[in-house]
Amino acid sequence: MSTPAGAAVAAAVACAGRLGLTCADPRLLSDGVNAVVHLAPAPVVARVATATRLLRPDVSRTFGREVALATALTAAGAAVVPPSDLLPPGPHVQDGLVLSFWRFAELTGEQPTAQVAGRALGELHEVLASLPAPAGAFLDTPLEDVAVFAATGADLGARPDHVERVGALLEAVRPRLAGPSGALHGDAHPGNLLGTTTGWRWTDLEDTSPGPVGWDLACLRSTGRLDGRAAVDATPDPLSDADLEPLLLLRLLHGAAWSQVVASRDPGYRRQADERLAAAVAEVSRSVRG
């Protein structure tokens, strides 16, 4: 187990213990920019920010937004993974790490089709439309993430000329972003739609921000896990690629920035991350010139 993952597991167990829940068999479920830990045998999962802090200095804000939105969606009957009902969901700080607690969901291993993903996102948006948007500026989560990368990306190992170019491209794309602002999932790709024993459930609402529905559609359209265009077309109000273009450009920059965070922890991913950043810079540059 890597040092960040080990620290995340220890922090999750310690925080749960401090709140009265003893964990005898912690299990690391995933180790990405956040670590996900099942506090077995209890039906509680901890999400612990590890590499997340490299682009989000104030992780408590995004974790807090996620818990608040998931709580409201659960109360409204939306198909999301709920916050824990055995522990205060948080966010908490333990040993310098920010974490939150969620109900354990038994996974089936089933992967969504394009049609399933599109319909599920449409159903989520129907409930989101009844909720107030989170406090904050328009699309502040992706815009701030990319801005932080433009200032610090070279420290993650990214090519300095590409990092500098990302900053210029962000300012070129920003004025083109528009649309009615409401509550969003924020990172609505199929990997965040889980097949569980109780049905399809959305998870990982950490990227939520005030913004247009088109941002979630752009996240779904950009996926490489399935036919993104078919998935968008399966939503109740699909938008064309032309209508989504500015949001798709921002998604390219956003995804490339986070790929560099992953590469900073996993040298084996470096080449893929660098290729992704170079491709994003080239494609957004072409669109901006056009």
Radius of gyration of the chain (CA): 19
Written in H, E and C, the secondary structure of 84-108 is CCCCCCCCEEECCEEEEEEECCCEC
Mean pLDDT, residues 19-23 taken together:
96
Please choose, from the candidates 137, 126, 125, 127, the residue with its C-alpha nearest in 3D space to the C-alpha of residue 174: 137
Peptide bond into 82 cis (omega under 30): no
Taking each helix axis from N to C end, the angle separating 241-265 and 160-173, rounded to the nearest 10 degrees, works out to 150
89-133 pLDDT, tens per residue?
999 999 999 999 999 999 999 999 999 999 999 999 999 999 988
pLDDT score of 133: 85
Amino acid in position 39: L
> In the predicted model, is pLDDT for residue 281 greater than 50?
yes
pTM value? 0.95
Over the chain, what is the mean pLDDT? 96
- The full set of domains in the chain, from first to last, is 3-103 (3.30.200.20), 114-289 (3.90.1200.10)
Residues 188-233: tens digit of each pLDDT: 999 999 999 999 999 999 999 999 999 999 999 999 999 999 999 9
The confidence score (pLDDT) of residue 1 equals 39
Q: What single letter denotes the amino acid at residue 234?
A: A
